[in-house]
């Protein structure tokens, strides 16, 4: 599912959950001048579906879901594989990322 805009309900949910850790929606959002976020890290592939890949970021200790695309399919990877990958996401006008995509992948 593609989300182009952050709905008021989503903002409220994010704000409620972030307040539990002492932050606000405004503190969590990306600077409005940034149009694309990029990350490079080592990941453990946990789940592969037709649409997306569930992974665990080994360097930042957090789960992430990345869209299954041609870059991933070309690498013949399986659940349990460790990879080094560059991923990116567009940033919407509310400063939030939505879909993450693979840019480069290397099995480690």
- pLDDT band (50, 70, 90) for residue 79: very high
Query: What gap in Å lies between CA 26 and CA 83, rounded to an integer?
Result: 33
Residue 56 in contact with residue 26, Cβ under 8 Å? no
- 107 against 17, higher pLDDT: 107
Query: What gap in Å lies between CA 64 and CA 48, rounded to an integer?
Result: 12
Residues ≥6 apart with Cβ < 8 Å to 11: 25, 94
pLDDT tens for 15-27 read: 666 666 665 555 5
Q: Which CATH number fits domain 32-107: 2.40.50.140, 1.10.3210.10, 3.40.50.720, 2.60.40.650?
A: 2.40.50.140
Q: Is the pTM of this model over 0.75?
A: no
CB atoms within 10 A of CB 39: 17
Indicate the DSSP class of residue 2: -
Q: pLDDT value at position 34?
A: 65
Quick one: average pLDDT of 46-60? 91
- 6 against 94, higher pLDDT: 94
């Amino acid at each position: 599912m593609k989300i182009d805009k952050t709905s008021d309900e989503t903002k409220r949910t994010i704000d409620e959950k972030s307040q539990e850790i002492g932050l606000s929606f405004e503190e969590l959002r990306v600077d409005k001048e940034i149009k694309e976020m990029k990350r490079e890290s080592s990941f453990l592939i946990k789940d592969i579906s037709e649409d997306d890949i569930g992974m665990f970021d080994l360097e930042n200790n957090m789960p992430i879901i990345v869209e299954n695309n041609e870059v991933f399919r070309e690498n013949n990877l399986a659940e349990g594989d460790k990879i080094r990958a560059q991923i990116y996401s567009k940033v919407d006008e509310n400063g939030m990322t939505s879909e993450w995509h693979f840019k480069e992948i290397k099995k480690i």
